[in-house]
Every structure is written in C-alpha cells, then in structure tokens.
A and B are shown apart, each in its own frame.
Chain A
Amino acid sequence: MIGPSRVAELDMPGAAIEGASTRPAQSYWNESWERLRANRIGMAAGILILIFALIAILAPVFSAVLTHFQPQTIDLSQTFSPPGGKHLLGTDELGRDTLTRLIWGARVTLGVALLTVAVSLTVGTAVGMMAGYYGGWLDDLLMRLVDTVLAIPAIFLFILMSILFRPTPVSLALIIASVGWGQVARLVRGEVLSVKQRDFILATRSIGARHLRLMLRHLLPNVLPVLIVAASLGVGQIILIEAALDFLGLGIQPPTPSWGNQLTNAESYFFHSIWLVNFPGLLIFVTVLASNVFGNAIRDAFDPRLK
C-alpha cells in the first residue's frame, strides 16, 4: 500500500464531499435520455415514428386483420370508392384499397429511408473518421472527393442513376446514399478533428493502443451523438427525396406501393378523388415533421446548451 494512513488522511476532506454527492451516479447517456424523456413533443414524435415503423413491419398482419385486402388486388367494380364502408380510406382507379396500399407503402418508404441512413452513415463515418484521424494527404484526398460529390446537383445525379439502374427499394436507397454519405463524412471529420485534440487520445496512445482501437473504441463513441442526430434528421429528408423521385417516376415503380408513387398516381384524379392525394400526402407530411422534431429533440438532449 502507498502509505495508506497518509493518503487516507490527505483525502479526507475531498472524499467526504464527494461521498456525500447528492446527484446519483449517471452516465452521459442516462442524462441525455432523461432530458429526452422530459421533452414531451419530442417523445410524441419519436413514439409516432415507432408506431409507423411497427405498422410497416407488421403490414401483412394489418392487411389481413384490419383491411382484409391485399395491396395489389385489383377490383374494377370498386374503382374510386370514397372513404368509408368496406374501404376505410377509399380505393384508387383500379379499385385497390388505399389503406392497405399505405400500410404496405410504409414498408417501402420507411425501409428505403432506414437503409439509406444506414448506408450513408456507415460510409460517411468511415470516410470522415479516416480523414479526420490520419489527416495529411488522405484527408485532402477524401475531402476533395466529398466536395466533388456534394458539388454535383443531387437531383440530376438521382435522375441519371435512376435511369441507369432500375429503381428497386434497395437500389433507390443506394442511389440516395451515394450522395448522403458526403454530408456525414464532413460532419464526422469535423467532430473527429476536435475530439482528436483532446489529451485522452494521446493518453490512450501512450498506453499502447493501436490506431484502429483508438478509432473504433475511443473516437467512435465520442462521435456517436452527432451520428444519432444526423440519422434522425436524415430520415425526414430522405423520405422527401424518395417521394420526389417517385413523383418524377424515377423512384419505386408501380405496382409496388410507396407513399411517393401513390401520390404521383393520385395526381391525375385530384379533382374527383381528393382522398387519393390527401392520405399519402398527410402521411409524408406527418412522418417528415415527426422525424425533424424528434431529431431536434435528440440534439437538444445530447447537448442542452444548444436549446
């Protein structure tokens, strides 16, 4: 023991004060979670997204139990039924049940959004981290690449790629992510540059940790809050981009339902069957709004100073 009596003696005042700490031991994550929970509007938005996600996952159950229709079942005797009765939200020009198609469309739309976020976060984080951590020529090279990607007008790139690759949910996600990773890379690089300067990185090097361990074990958790915020804000943006591409006929192709292409489809019948426009439009609006509100709530929770 290192002079136990001496050390104990020295520690007494400080120890007593710290021992009597009134605040329970809480981690950064716990504290953030507490702040998020206190934000009612943010939590409502989060729960709403969660409900939509559940509906999307359980689409087959819902269409079997709730609506009793399949998304692609055509019934030409029931075209343009208004909401109510057998078809809760009406039918479209081929007699397909709108609610069923919206439920299945949630699968596609939210699935594309999720996959896009996952891909762009993974690629963007890897690139941003390497650029920020190693610096030098690698940083220059990677960041000029990002600049290039971000300098190309995204909509033209999407159009071009959608023509080259037949848009399926997966390919559409990859197309959107091919631009999305750039922003993430920039964000992560900036964060890494600031975290890298802190002494604990040098301290961790001084105990013999290798670069990969430093990046994954020590840097990544410090960048994670930024990533989570980027992800939750990204979902809304991606849904809008996807809807726009669908609207231009470059997104998900009918008969596969997505919220975007349902909206496109409804365009022609705007004057006599307004519900075909209203319901997908409302869903997109609500989901994007919820995603943005929830993203902001998470940001505030992680960094209360920003509020």
Chain B
Amino acid sequence: MTQPLLEVQDLHTVFSTKEGWVKAVDGVSFELHPGETLGIVGESGCGKSVTALSIMRLQRPGLIKSGRVMFKGEDLTKATEAEMREVRGREIAMIFQDPMTSLNPVFRTGWQVAEPLRLHHGWNAKKSLTSAINMLGKVGIPSAVDRAEDYPHQFSGGMRQRVMIAMGLTTTPEVLIADEPTTALDVTIQAQILDLLRHVNQEFGTATILITHNLGVVAGMCKRIIVMYAGRIVEAGPTTDVFAHPKHPYTWALLRSIPRLDAERHEPLKPIDGLPPNLVDLPSGCAFHPRCAFKIEKCSRDVPALQRVGDTQLSACWVTQAGTELKGA
C-alpha cells in the first residue's frame, strides 16, 4: 500500500443545540490514497457532510472536539486559519450539493472560476481568466470563451456543476471532496457529471472523496466505500465485496431497499423499518439496533468497534463479528 494522502483519525465533531451536544461525527477514521476515489455513503444527517467540512475546517458552528486530520504529514485540526486558507482551494477543493446556489450570482462565471488562481498563485485577472477558460473547456462547457462572460443564472444546473468542478480544479488540488455533487441534478445530468468526475480522476490523478446517499453512484465510481450511520462508520471495504456480502445489517438493509434490474420480478422493495435515530439522544449500544433485524441482546448494551470481518471488510457489528452471515427476508 502506498502512503495515504489524507488520513482521518478518530475524528469527533459536535454541535451545540438547545437539547444538548449533537455528536455529528463520532470517532470516524479512514484514509485516502493518492489517485483513489473513496465513497462515503449514508442517509441524511449521518455525518458525511460534516466529516468533509471538518477536513476543511469549515464545520462551523460545529466544533472539532478531538481527532486528527493528517494531510502531508501535518495535522489540519491544529493548523492556523492562515495555513488552512492555503490548503483550501489549493490542495483540497470541494464541490457542493446545490450548484444553483454555489456560485455568486453577481459575478461572471469566468471570474469566479479564476478566483482560486488569483487567491493562491497571485495571478492577474487576464492570466487567471485564460486558465479558467481553458479549464471550463476541459470540463465540457461548450464555447467556453463566450460562456465565461455569462452570469451563473444563464447556466443550467448541470452546467453550473461543471463550472463548480472547473473552479475546484483550476489549482490542480490533490484532493477533491464532492459533497453530493449529483443530488440536485436530474438523472441524465447526474450520469454526465459522474462521468466527468471519473475523467477528472483519471486525467489529473486527483484523489476524490465522493459523498452521496446514492448507492448506485458509489457502485460505478468508487473502488472503496465507507458506510456511515449516526456519525459513525459502520462498514468499510472494497465496493464489490461490500455490495456482494454486506457485513453490517444497515448496509444489508440499504442494499435491499433499492431497486435492482437483476432482482426477481414483483419482489417488493424492503424499506428499512423505523426512523433514523435522534442524534441528541442516541440509542444505547449500537445506534442501529432498534431497526436491526439481526440484533442480539448485546447490541443494546455495548457499542461495537469497527473490526475486520472477512478478508477485506471492516464492520462495526456484534453479529457479523461473531461470524454470522446476514441472510433472510
């Protein structure tokens, strides 16, 4: 294995609310290798976005309580704000869920795409704009020279997401964090954007963290995935293995809740019973146990740690750690 590019170690990010502290990210650890595409999957509010924002130290009003984010031998959680500004947009870039609101409506797109270059390389307007137009062309904006003169509202959603990706890539960062980059787009455009992200990954060798709630997106994009639930990683491993033999009941249930082309006809989809947990007042033991079909007595008492289950996967589940296979209706 190569040296990891980014290493998140036991990250805890909390939010203060009227009802108490919310542990949005509760002991998350993972590593990202150069050139790799890592998927982080989970339902809304499971802490995937906060994990990403914590890496960039943009989690405010959240607070990073403990843990380390090692990037090129430095702990980003201890970096000064000035050092963080150097990392943001230069070495780690981020693209957001909603391309409709991610661009400033009052500036021409070319100017905005060029902004990281002016900020980080100190390039002048003309030089940075030329480079931005070049990048807009590379991400598939037709007649980029003219379009750079346009304002964001003159672009469609898919085109804006391309613009966002171009903006993230101008400084050729080593890590690109894509936080639900296709969620706000319609299905045909989703495929185009994912295709673009894949090309970006191959062309620039940018390591990508792809955050999504869509298992289908992950399947086509990522070699490795992480499944999060209630602020914790419940399962991690190579995508094919996780999809074929999920080692956590949550992943297992998640996979059964999506339609498949190869499934038996008329076989109904199985929603996951119950509701996502209240993060202020998590269930005792494993946070998933109230919704779990395989729970044993221990599950409501002790929190399972993330441990190796099988050859390639990690799982935080007492049942599978004891060697039980997840099967049945």
Contacts and interface: CB of A to CB of B under 8 A. Distances in A.
B54 to A, nearest CB: 13
Contacts of A222: 104-106
Interface stretch (A71-79, A121-129, A182-190, A197-205): A197-205
Interface residues of A, number: 32
A222 B107 CA distance: 10
Interface string A203-218: 1111111100100001
Interface string B138-182: 111011001001110111101100001001100000000000000
A2 B203 contact: yes
Tell me what chain A mostly uses at the interface: helix, strand, loop, or mixed: helix
Contacts of A204: 104, 115
B86 to A, nearest CB: 7
B56 A10 contact: no
Contacts of A6: 195, 199
B176 to A, nearest CB: 11
Contacts of B192: 10-11
Contact of B149 (A19, A25, A199): A25
Contact of B159 (A2, A18, A27): A18
A269 B151 CA distance: 60
Contact of A7 (B87, B115, B116, B199): B199
Interface in B85-130: 85-90, 93-98, 101-108, 115-116, 119-120
Nearest to A200: B104
11 contacts: A2-B139, A8-B142, A10-B195, A25-B150, A25-B154, A200-B102, A206-B94, A207-B93, A208-B120, A210-B85, A213-B119
The 10 closest A-B pairs by CB, nearest first: A207-B89, A7-B140, A208-B88, A2-B199, A208-B89, A15-B142, A206-B94, A199-B101, A208-B85, A199-B102
Given A202-B58, A208-B84, A208-B85, 13 more contacts: A2-B199, A15-B142, A19-B143, A199-B102, A200-B104, A202-B96, A206-B88, A206-B94, A207-B89, A207-B167, A209-B89, A209-B119, A221-B106
